[in-house]
Structure 1
Amino acid sequence: MPAFAYQALDQGGKTQRGVMQGDTARAVRATLRERGLNPLDVAPVAEAQSRSLLFGRRGLSGAQLALLTRQLATLLKAGLPVDEALAALGEQNEDSRSRALVANLRARVLEGSSLAAGLAEAPESFPEIYRASVAAGEQSGRLDTVLARLADYSEARDALNQKIWAALIYPLLLSVVAVAVVTGLLVYVVPQIVGVFTQMHQALPWPTRALIALSEFVKAWGLLLLVLIVIAAIGGRLALHTERVRTAWHGLLLRLPLVGRLVRAANTARCTRTLALLTASAVPLLDSLNISAQVMPNLPMRAAVRRAAVKLREGSGFSRSLGESGYFPPVTLRLIASGERAGELERMLDEAANHQQRELDRWMTALTAILGPLVILLVGAMVLFIVLAILLPIFDLNQMVK
């Protein structure tokens, strides 16, 4: 039975939204009227989802996907069939988007489709790694175990993204506030104080002259400079949409001393974690490599994984093929090599992912500890320069009076 997303007015005039199953849209409208609701819009779930995406709504977030997967894995482990587990999820889920997705999945399962086929209708919410793992779990009869691992993977990936943003947000906010404070001093405070010295027609110290020149430049060209910076940022973002420019930019990031190490650690953690999940879900290694390459944001490292898949198909060793690019840390390559020799590739891939995760956490903690005080020192140096540029003429006046 298909699912329909509806909007209706209740007796109090409030808009009610939800998902209901029915044979046709007319039947759903009739059911809504029986419940005392005035239907405004009734559309199949797939059409409603595409319409919401057209107006800018995206798929499920990482946290929503992890929660949905964890709930479904728990229900399946308790022995519920897939359709009943999806029905229970739809009833207890308060988010309208998640409820619509679950209703559409249940409708496809009741029609005889597999769960993986239903997931393929919402690629913006369920990435390829998710669909491939679910398909392998259905074929092997271990769907609940695969979903539990997918929930762990989604939670770890969401936690990694949050750690990266949490490490960067404080220095960014501090830099923005510092720039705003210094700009305000140069535009409003400095001209009123230094204007007294310029009327005396005497030689001023070079810090004062430099401060006056900087203040006049900011007042005259500051707005234009801000517009140029915004245009350059937008142009750079648009240029990064082209693969050639984005590849060059990502290659530059890999060559930077500290940033390159962070980028390699983050991408290696994503790749190895994904490979561990897919191999544990009985997905072939070649397919796992191609899927793992897609979850890596850095294009040169993604191309290196795809080249490793080609060499692996030709008979080369996995760790050796992966190490030819020089992008992956030696510890990760040694762990993968030992896993190949011992026949425990899945466990060693998971260990490599954990090692890179710890390495990334350590570097992000150090970076946060360095960037915050560094920005404060820079702001202090700028304020000290402004104070000295104002006080030096005053000292000179005192000497002249004496």
Structure 2
Amino acid sequence: MYYKVTLMQRGKRTFKVYEAPNKRAAAARAKREFPRAVVVKTVETAAPVEDILKKIGKDLQKLTKGKIKLDDKIATIRQIAVMTDAGIPINDTLEDVAANTTNKKLREIYQNIAADINAGKSMSQAIAPYAEEFGHVTIAMTNLGEKTGNFPESYHKLADILENIRNNTAKFKKALRYPLITLTAMAIAFVILIMMVVPKFRAIFEEFHADLPMPTKVLLGIEYAFSHYGLLLLALLIGSITAIVLLYKNNKNFKYWADKIMVHPRFYLINRVIFLSSMYNYTLVFGELVRAGIPVSEALNTAVDMVSNDYIREKLETVNVNIGRGMSLTDAFEQTGLFENMLLQMIKAGESSGQLDKMLQKVTEYYNMRFQDIIDNLSSYIEPIMLFFIAGLVLLMALGIFLPMWDLGRAVKNAP
């Protein structure tokens, strides 16, 4: 977050903008920089233009470089787990993994991590700067391995989690393939008809000076836009998508708003996919940490990092706050409004019987079951949307072309 700090020094009022996690930290930075000044007030503000441009430049650079393939990460993580389980020191393991991986970016990262460990850092400290490359789950499981003293088991579990994510992603893409191919083919056919067929009918309609129905006017308007501004419309579409992606990555308020919209009940299907995947990851890591003996408060802080949706994350962050105020875990979960009553009863039973880790495992299995059900039946969920889209295109083309032709036919027939 960015904060505008108002300072009073030698009777003059000055302003400074700082990037800080909260107001107090921003004011402290201002006090360190200007020890003789008095901090008048601190208010949240927008990011400076130069900072926004720098972040956009970094994002574009990352897009051009590409991401590390998930298969490469899984292979190296599994190798780390096997080698450390065999008693090989972590720094030697990382150097060996870096030498054997074919991914240049991943090799450089592991070499840097090994160098930091040789310099005296822990594995969690060395891997922390690469959270964006590895993901929050890797950071969380690395912390878990260090806290429990069983690093190989944590990384074996991490590899299993990443493989599960990879398999779910593959199934999701496979389920979307047929609907996307069908819709793309229909869209291409529609554009071809608009560009090649409609112009021929335009000349006929203009010759008879007939009063055209609304579907025909829509078709003619689309054809005119494609013919005269096609490249501009394509550039605007690509530019808009790029701008939205960059804004989502760099603007916290926009990301929160977009995340809230995407989990709204009216946002068909996508809301359930995002919600179930977020809750599955959250309860999975939370359960693993509790099972390993990590205190509940600390486990909650680590597990919430698994949630990338800011709206869901904000609700889950209140759990630890409410527990700190003396509320039970079940009541704190209930306050979020994210858990079903059945799940709350299961968590309550586990909390009272001392078997919270087992109940959390059942909750995780429940979310995974529902998520898998959506992926397995994704085609059937999308079919109504696909049929509606296809029917709309066909109806528009049919009415737009044949309605005026029927009117022209009647006019010719009734002519003297």
Matched, 1:119 2:130: no
Judged with a 3 Å threshold, the aligned counterparts in structure 2 of structure 1 residues 269 and 75 are, in CA distance, closer, same or farther, namely same
Aligned to 2:318: 307
- Measure, in 2, the Cα distance between the counterparts of 1:401 and 1:129: 74
Report the TM-score, using the length of structure 1 for normalisation: 0.73
1:255 to 249, 253, 264: 264
The 1:166–1:318 alpha-carbon spacing in structure 2 relative to 1, beyond 3 Å, is farther
CA-CA distance at 1:67 after TM superposition: 2.0
Residue identity opposite 1:356 in structure 2: Y
Note if 1:352 corresponds to 2:363: yes
What is the CA-CA distance between 1:308 and the residue it aligns to? Answer: 0.5
Change (3 A) 1:389 1:99: closer
Q: Once the 2 structures are TM-superposed, how far is the Cα of residue 339 of structure 1 from its aligned partner?
A: 2.3
Partner of residue 70 from structure 2, selected from 53, 62, 82: 62
Q: Of residues 75, 83, 95 in structure 2, which corresponds to 1:75?
A: 83
Instruction: Specify whether residues 281 and 103 from structure 1 end up closer, same or farther in structure 2 by C-alpha distance, changes over 3 A only.
Output: farther
Contact 2:297 2:320 in 1 (8 A): yes
Cα 1:344–1:60 change in 2 (3 A) is: farther
* Deviation readout 1:259-294 (Å, 9 max, x if unpaired): 433332121112111212333344332222122222
AA aligned to 1:180 is I
Q: Which residue of 1 aligns with 2:16?
A: none
Indicate if the aligned counterparts of 1:157 and 1:270 stay in contact, CA closer than 8 A: no
Alignment of 1:3-402 (within 5 A): 56=62, 57=65, 60-110=68-118, 113-120=121-128, 122-127=130-135, 129-168=137-176, 170-172=178-180, 174-201=182-209, 207-208=215-216, 211-220=219-228, 224-240=232-248, 241-257=250-266, 258=268, 259-372=270-383, 374-392=385-403, 400=412
CA distance in 2, matches of 1:204, 1:239: 43
Q: Measure the CA separation in 2 of the matches of 1:107 and 1:229.
A: 45
Distance in 2, Cα, partners of 1:126 & 1:190: 51
Q: From the superposition, tell whether residues 249 and 206 of structure 1 become closer, same or farther in structure 2 (CA, over 3 Å).
A: closer
1:381 positional shift: 4.0
In structure 2, C-alpha distance between the alignment counterparts of 1:292 and 1:58, rounded to whole Å: 27
CA 229–353 in structure 1, closer or farther in 2 if over 3 Å, else same: same
- Letter of the structure 2 residue corresponding to residue 311 of structure 1: N
CA distance in 2, matches of 1:205, 1:60: 54
User: What is the alpha-carbon distance in structure 2 between the residues aligned to residue 109 and residue 242 of structure 1?
Assistant: 34
Counterpart residue identity of residue 358, structure 2: R
CA distance 1:163–1:212, change in 2 (3 Å): same
Q: Secondary structure at the match of 2:197?
A: helix
- The CA deviation string for residues 64-96 of structure 1, in whole angstroms up to 9 with x for no partner, is 322212122122333434344445434433333
Deviation of the 1:246 alpha carbon: 2.4
Shift of 1:309: 0.6
Distance 1:124 1:238 in 2: 15
Could you say what the CA RMSD is over the residues aligned between the two structures, in angstroms?
3.5
For residues 226 and 352 of structure 2, the distance between their equivalents in structure 1, rounded to whole angstroms, comes to 64
Amino acid at match of 1:151: A
Cα separation, 1, equivalents of 2:143 and 2:346: 28
Cα distance in 2 between the residues matched to 1:125 and 1:245: 23
**Which residue is 2:19 aligned to?**
none
| Cα distance in 2, alignment partners of residues 119 and 238 from structure 1 | 25
| SS at structure 1 position matched to 2:78 | helix
Closer, same or farther in 2 for the Cα pair 1:99/1:220, shift >3 Å?
A: closer
Q: Indicate the larger mover: 114-123 or 165-174.
A: 165-174
What TM-score, normalized to structure 2? 0.71
Shift of 1:375: 2.2
Q: For 2:286 and 2:118, locate their aligned partners in 1 and report how far apart those are by CA, in whole Å.
A: 32
The residue type paired with residue 245 of structure 1 is F
Q: Distance in 2 between matches of 1:125 and 1:53?
A: 13
Checking the alignment, whether the CA contact within 8 Å between 1:247 and 1:300 is kept in structure 2 is: yes
| Unmatched 5+ stretches in structure 2 | 1-57
In structure 2, distance between residues paired with 1:218 and 1:382: 16
CA contact 1:273–1:353 (8 Å) conserved in 2 = yes
Whichever residue aligns with residue 201 of structure 2, its letter is I
Q: Distance in 2 between matches of 1:211 and 1:136?
A: 60
Instruction: Return the alpha-carbon distance in structure 1 between the equivalents of residues 214 and 119 of structure 2.
Output: 81
Please tell me whether the aligned partners of residues 153 and 277 of structure 1 are also in contact (alpha carbons under 8 angstroms): no
